[in-house]
Structure 1
Amino acid sequence: MAAVSKYLTAKNSAAAGGILLVLYFLKQRRRSAALNRKKGSANDLNSEKDGKKERAAVDKLFFVRISRIIGIMVPRLLCKETWYLFLIAVMLVTRTYCDVWMIQNGTMIESAIIGRSTKGFKKYLFNFITAMPVIALVNNFLKLGLNELKLCFRVRLTKHLYDEYLNLKKIITGHYVDHLHNFIFFRFSMGMVDSIIAKYFATVVGYLVVSRPFLDLSHPRHLSSSHAELLEDYYQSGRMLLRMSQALGRIVLAGREMTRLSGFTARITELMRVLKELNSGKYERTMVSHSEKDVSEKLTLVPGSGRIINVDHIIKFDHTPLATPNGDVLIRDMCFEVKSGTNVLVCGPNGCGKSSLFRVLGELWPLFGGSLTKPERGKLFYVPQRPYMTLGSLRDQVIYPDTHEDQKKKGISDQVLKEYLDNVQLGHILEREGSWDVVQDWMDVLSGGEKQRMAMARLFYHKPQFAILDECTSAVSVDVEDYIYSHCRKVGITLFTVSHRKSLWKHHEFYLHMDGRGNYEFKPITTETVEFGS
């Protein structure tokens, strides 16, 4: 062992570790390049045919993408994120000094124990006890900074993508199981490599380096060292080498984390690119209608080529194609007009285009032609089957998305809010809770029917010109449902209702039926109309 260890100087050991680390990364890079070459020619020839995307990798494109995303998450030099980054940097440096001090102080404690020094043991133990609160504070500040920074990054990026989306005013099991099996085996193989290189090899190198001055009897370092000095040197070197091996392991594992980060940046960049193209009107696609018998017949539509006209008290589709952004043409040419005071029942099988119609009406999906006359976005209100209950007080559930200040500006008192709850037979909830300011987990506190009625009270508060009711009374009794529809007519809210209940036909003047094959009919409801539903 001494013959071998004499060549293991600190310089040689560090060089050997660095060379092995570089060889590991080169091997991974060559493996990645080989896979890319193997698939490259096929991808080049068939990329448009089978829709395959380029493989994410840590390359020049990755750094371009992540710099663009960082520019969104840290928009200015002086912002909240910058201060969190500064806090994290300071805490990291501070924790490094704390780690070094802990190693030195711990070594002195062990040395005092080995040397049977009661005075030294008490001194260094007292130092450790005194430093414990400071070190705990540093660690918790570091965690606080990291968690807050992650939250800020998520908020910045999510808000940016939501803004891009909402600004679009023109706008099999077997394979899955096989994929999971491949993923499990891949993680198993990578885990073996990581454990051998990052853990065991680093430990072996550490043992060899630490043992050299002890096994070489002619080494000048310990020619005249006492037993206590030998133990002190061994423990201090061992602790340092342990931290070094851990750091080496983290560096090796960082390659895998960088690959994951590359995948995330590729997906976010793709989403940003699509939103940007839609906003600029440059996204064009040739779409094929599934409703046509001749599948070779193509319909070329340009997203955003339709025209939106904002006019109060009317909704009019004028030769407007109903198509999804991914290319499905549901109805080629839709024409109908609804004025305030005329309720419309929308019906048809699943997938026929009912929700798509309302997404176009809410300007979430672009127009592909024709014109759409409608009130401004704030004068339309959508009530889903499962209403959203916000985190907040009982008042917040009624006035959402308004705040209490918005309620005051509108001049609506709490007594009026109480009347809205009484109109939907929810007045007992206010009596039970005792105050408008009570905060609860309303998604759990309220039943399904109560949440639907709360959404209708929210509708009465906002009083839009038009409201879209999407199966929003499915858990409400027929008598309460009749009162809600009658009250909407009384306060001047015109309704588009999606429902399969026969009992609702009497509250509407027209029906819009889509058959799911590209056809629709918009007709008045008369005594001869055949009502369908349950």
Structure 2
Amino acid sequence: MEMGEKVMNSALSVSVLRDVVTRLRLKNNHVFRLLNINPNSKPVLLFLVSISSSSLIVLVYNLMKVVNYTKQRIFDKPEMSSPRRQFYNKSTECREINVPYKNRNLKVKIDRMNQDRYEHDKLTFKRFTRENGSEGISELVVESKFLKKLFVIWRLVLIPKVLHPNSTILLGQLLCLIARTWMSLLVTKLDGQIVRDLIGLRGRSFLRGIIYWFLFAFPASYINSGIKFLTHRLALNFRTNLVRYCHDLYMDPRMVYYKMQFNGNQSEMYKMDSNYIDQYMTEDIKKFSNSLASMFLNVGKPTVDLIFFAVYLRDNIGSIGIAGILMCYFFTGSYLKKHSPNFNKIWKTKTHLEGIYYNYNLNLIKNCEEISFYQGTVIEKNKVHKIFNNLLSHFTTEINAKFHYGLLEEYILKYAWPAFGYFFSGLPILLNYNLSESDSIKSFIVNKRLMLSMADAGSRLMYSIKDLSSLSGVTDRIFTLLLNLHQAHDQNFQYGLGVNGFGSQLKFTSFASRSILYPNAQAGINGTIQTSYPGLRFEQIPVIVPSSEGANGTKLLSRLTFKINQGENLLILGRNGIGKTSILRLISELWPLYDGLLSKPSPNDIFYVSQKSYLFNGSLRDQIIYPLSQIQMLEKGYSDEDLEGYLNDVGLGYLLDRFGSLDYHPNETATMLSDELIVNDKKVKIYNSNLGFGDGKKNWDTLLSGGERQKLIIARVLFHQKRFVILDEPTNAISYDYEDAIFEMMKAKKFTFITISHRETLIKYHDYLLQLNSANSFEFKKVDGGLRTFDNVEKEIDFLKSELSDLEQVKERKKELVSLLSGSEE
């Protein structure tokens, strides 16, 4: 019985709902009839399509957010995490990094670097430099070369394949441009209809036109916003692709970031100052991406408008009228192009001068304390003024050029072209007297708006020429950046000596073919490096400063030869500039080995300590374990207690009391993201302090003294526990007592170390001495009785006192011997 009542109530509810819908439909039909609105008209349909598509996009977006959130909650639980998965996902063959976003971490996937891809791309740049020389060329060829460069960047970096996400964005942008032009045609017709109804005093039709106008406004605004969104999205994608491409090359294990300073191009066109590479990889990439993405809009929109409006106007004013308009546009446009300044050259010069001004101000910030000590304010101020005046002079030249060109451009584009529009749009009315007044007005309004739209499209197309010139200039800089990165990334990089900058073209299996084809190749890199050697051996090695002269460059040392085995420590002494640090650069393969044989341990068994104590932006823990992360430290079986022990070993245990813990970061505003992971069946909190940069007011260089920084580097040596340690002036800021303690500790831990220093007191801790006297004079010898070793400073002082006390006895004995030798026998 109850079930029957429920069924009857449901049926009643459905019938009531049906009646309500019917009444609303009748009411709407009554309103539509009153206003003479057709529900199937284009304005109504476009409005409904816009509303439905917007709702669908919002629904899909929120649904994806829910799915991602659920996936993260289910599959990315801390208990299931592993240290390795935070950095490398084997299933997707990509790297994962944590990015801070709204007080939480977002996992961003970055594709692995594909060395085969970059080797293939390198061939493209080689071919380009070979086929497109730097000789004098005409302006037309310059433009074609710009298109070639742009095509190379496009094909290799921006859209490397047809089915690429950026291709979808470009296609969507093109469809939006076509839809926008079509909407403009509809609005133009509606505008003429509204004016005609107003003049004809048709109130209902006029009101209907206003309603249609408001309905058109929504899809038009929707399309305009969509075009802007797609343009910004495309620019961001271009920038992302370029930055990742450049960074993969720049931060490659082949140390491109270091070798860039030695890369020299024989072609002036592709020369690049590595001091300004920060500007190339930040501002220039940003400008290039934005300019290129906007160029599709700045050129595509007026081009589509011209085509559509010309086709539509052809039916109104005839083919002769359209031909006359296009001829006027062509001749005036050619005249403007002929008198246009070289915006490409102006932009490139301005960018170069801005880079000089920026870097010099950065130099003042980095060396403000030293400048203050020397009271160099006046001379630095004069330099800044000179640099700024050069930039100001160029800005003045640019403004004047734009002013004179702007006068001509404004006159032609803003006034001459609309005048042509009024003339040609009025011709059909003047020549056709049979049209009624309202039809003539409508025809004139429609033709006038289309002509003005054509004039506006043509003017925007002419304005884009300046943008095209700027794009040409920034394309040259981006292409130069990529070319130099590939040259330095070359497996056989020749440090400036090469054909078109690529040193691999100098590598031949036959020495005869090398000398015949490329005589300069005799000055190339011909040394041999042997790794996995149980010690260190130099055989007939010249120490030469890398340059475009190759082996004929500045020679610091000639045919250096010595050998030590594992467990034997070496001290290198010599005056400043003799080449001590250069030996370290040869061992680490930062400098090329032009000749001779270098035998050394495996790179994984050597730890280098440079002359400058490098402390990067991170926590106190990060300074000790650099270049590892906390997760990698835990994977190796180390704990914070081990790090605290290393600090105590070098006499820096008090830093824990000063800063509180190993998690201390100099910048209080720096981002310290934490995550709990299971490591060795134990839950550990991981601090990622490498993401935040803080306010930059404090850093480790300002918080620690010179001696403390050097001790912290020694703690880093103890943490890594490499078999071989090469130290360049490691203790010149540390007191003698702590210096002895540090070297005693390193000997006790059985490190094999090679020390570069000025302090002869360190001889006692080494087994061999390499004394550098001049370029052709050095002395390698074993530390024996003549170079006594002592356990500590006190014993050495006692030895010297005993030697001084016996000095008088030695002098008396010398006199006796001289007397005996000079006297006669009895």
Q: TM-score, normalised by structure 2?
A: 0.45
The amino acid across from 1:446 in the alignment is W
Secondary structure (helix, strand or coil) at the match of 1:319 reads: strand
Tell me by how many angstroms 1:375 deviates. 0.6
The amino acid across from 2:234 in the alignment is G
2:611 and 2:207 mapped to 1: Cα distance?
74
1:341 and 1:160 mapped to 2: Cα distance?
38
**Residues 1:153 and 2:237 are matched in the alignment:** no
**Quick one: which of 414, 438, 446 aligns to 1:203?**
414
1:215 and 1:246 mapped to 2: Cα distance?
24
Aligned partners of 1:313 and 1:465 also within 8 Å: no
Aligned partners of 2:158 and 2:241 also within 8 Å: no
**Residues 1:254 and 2:468 are matched in the alignment:** yes
Residue 414 to residue 277, structure 1, CA distance change in 2 (3 Å): closer
Aligned partners of 1:421 and 1:454 also within 8 Å: yes
Tell me by how many angstroms 1:372 deviates. 0.7
**Residues 1:378 and 2:604 are matched in the alignment:** yes
Comparing 313-322 with 496-505, which one deviates more in the overlay?
A: 496-505
Identify the residue that residue 749 of structure 2 maps to in structure 1.
491
Secondary structure (helix, strand or coil) at the match of 2:506 reads: coil
Deviations 1:484-517 (A, max 9, x none): 4444333333334445567766655555454675
The amino acid across from 1:332 in the alignment is S
Tell me by how many angstroms 1:64 deviates. 6.4
1:524 and 1:193 mapped to 2: Cα distance?
78
Secondary structure (helix, strand or coil) at the match of 1:58 reads: helix
2:412 and 2:728 mapped to 1: Cα distance?
62
1:110-129 to 2 correspondences below 5 Å: 124-125=213-214, 128=217
**Quick one: which of 155, 171, 175 aligns to 1:90?**
171
Secondary structure (helix, strand or coil) at the match of 1:257 reads: helix
Residue 475 to residue 438, structure 1, CA distance change in 2 (3 Å): farther
Aligned partners of 1:332 and 1:518 also within 8 Å: yes
1:17-96 to 2 correspondences below 5 Å: 54=135, 58=142, 72-73=156-157, 77=161, 83-96=164-177
Larger radius of gyration: 2
What fraction of aligned residue pairs are identical, expressed as a percent? 22
Identify the residue that residue 321 of structure 1 maps to in structure 2.
542
1:432-511 to 2 correspondences below 5 Å: 433=663, 437-439=687-689, 440-441=692-693, 444-448=698-702, 449=704, 453-471=711-729, 483-499=741-757, 508=766, 510-511=768-769
The amino acid across from 1:361 in the alignment is I
Residue 101 to residue 339, structure 1, CA distance change in 2 (3 Å): farther
Tell me by how many angstroms 1:350 deviates. 5.2
1:411 and 1:224 mapped to 2: Cα distance?
90
**Is there any run of 5+ residues in structure 1 with no aligned partner, and where?**
1-51, 285-298
Residue 312 to residue 84, structure 1, CA distance change in 2 (3 Å): same
Aligned partners of 1:467 and 1:495 also within 8 Å: yes
Aligned partners of 1:394 and 1:436 also within 8 Å: no
Aligned partners of 2:194 and 2:210 also within 8 Å: yes
Secondary structure (helix, strand or coil) at the match of 1:77 reads: coil
Aligned partners of 1:513 and 1:521 also within 8 Å: yes
Secondary structure (helix, strand or coil) at the match of 1:441 reads: coil
Comparing 244-253 with 198-207, which one deviates more in the overlay?
A: 198-207
2:748 and 2:187 mapped to 1: Cα distance?
79
Aligned partners of 1:109 and 1:121 also within 8 Å: no
1:179 and 1:53 mapped to 2: Cα distance?
27
Residue 138 to residue 215, structure 1, CA distance change in 2 (3 Å): closer
Residue 238 to residue 317, structure 1, CA distance change in 2 (3 Å): same
1:131 and 1:422 mapped to 2: Cα distance?
70
Deviations 1:62-97 (A, max 9, x none): 66666666565379637xxx6342144134325524
1:242 and 1:230 mapped to 2: Cα distance?
18
Secondary structure (helix, strand or coil) at the match of 1:467 reads: strand
**Residues 1:431 and 2:431 are matched in the alignment:** no
Tell me by how many angstroms 1:125 deviates. 4.7
The amino acid across from 2:171 in the alignment is V
Residue 106 to residue 76, structure 1, CA distance change in 2 (3 Å): closer
1:118-517 to 2 correspondences below 5 Å: 124-125=213-214, 128=217, 135-136=224-225, 138-160=227-249, 165=254, 187=398, 191=402, 195=406, 201-213=412-424, 218=430, 224=438, 234=448, 237-255=451-469, 257-262=471-476, 264-265=478-479, 268-269=482-483, 272=486, 275=490, 278=493, 280=504, 282=506, 302-326=523-547, 327=550, 328=553, 329-348=555-574, 351-386=577-612, 396-404=622-630, 406-424=632-650, 425=652, 426-428=655-657, 429=659, 431=661, 433=663, 437-439=687-689, 440-441=692-693, 444-448=698-702, 449=704, 453-471=711-729, 483-499=741-757, 508=766, 510-514=768-772, 517=775
Aligned partners of 2:630 and 2:686 also within 8 Å: no
Residue 373 to residue 121, structure 1, CA distance change in 2 (3 Å): same
Tell me by how many angstroms 1:330 deviates. 1.9
Residue 118 to residue 182, structure 1, CA distance change in 2 (3 Å): same
Secondary structure (helix, strand or coil) at the match of 2:142 reads: coil
Tell me by how many angstroms 1:332 deviates. 1.8
The amino acid across from 1:218 in the alignment is L
Q: Which has the higher contact order (CA 8 A, sep 6+)?
A: 1
Residue 63 to residue 358, structure 1, CA distance change in 2 (3 Å): farther
1:272 and 1:157 mapped to 2: Cα distance?
9
Aligned partners of 1:430 and 1:436 also within 8 Å: no
The amino acid across from 1:77 in the alignment is K
Q: How many pairs were matched up?
A: 459
Aligned partners of 2:249 and 2:485 also within 8 Å: no
The amino acid across from 1:92 in the alignment is Q
Q: TM-score, normalised by structure 1?
A: 0.65
Structure having the larger proportion of residues in helix: 2
Secondary structure (helix, strand or coil) at the match of 1:150 reads: helix
The amino acid across from 1:207 in the alignment is P
**Is there any run of 5+ residues in structure 2 with no aligned partner, and where?**
1-132, 264-382, 494-502, 509-519, 665-684, 789-826
2:647 and 2:523 mapped to 1: Cα distance?
46
Tell me by how many angstroms 1:417 deviates. 3.4
2:701 and 2:191 mapped to 1: Cα distance?
63
Tell me by how many angstroms 1:218 deviates. 1.1
Q: RMSD in angstroms over aligned alpha carbons?
A: 5.1
Deviations 1:380-439 (A, max 9, x none): 222335555566666554433334554344333343234334445243546274775152
Identify the residue that residue 5 of structure 1 maps to in structure 2.
none
1:121 and 1:190 mapped to 2: Cα distance?
46
The amino acid across from 1:416 in the alignment is D
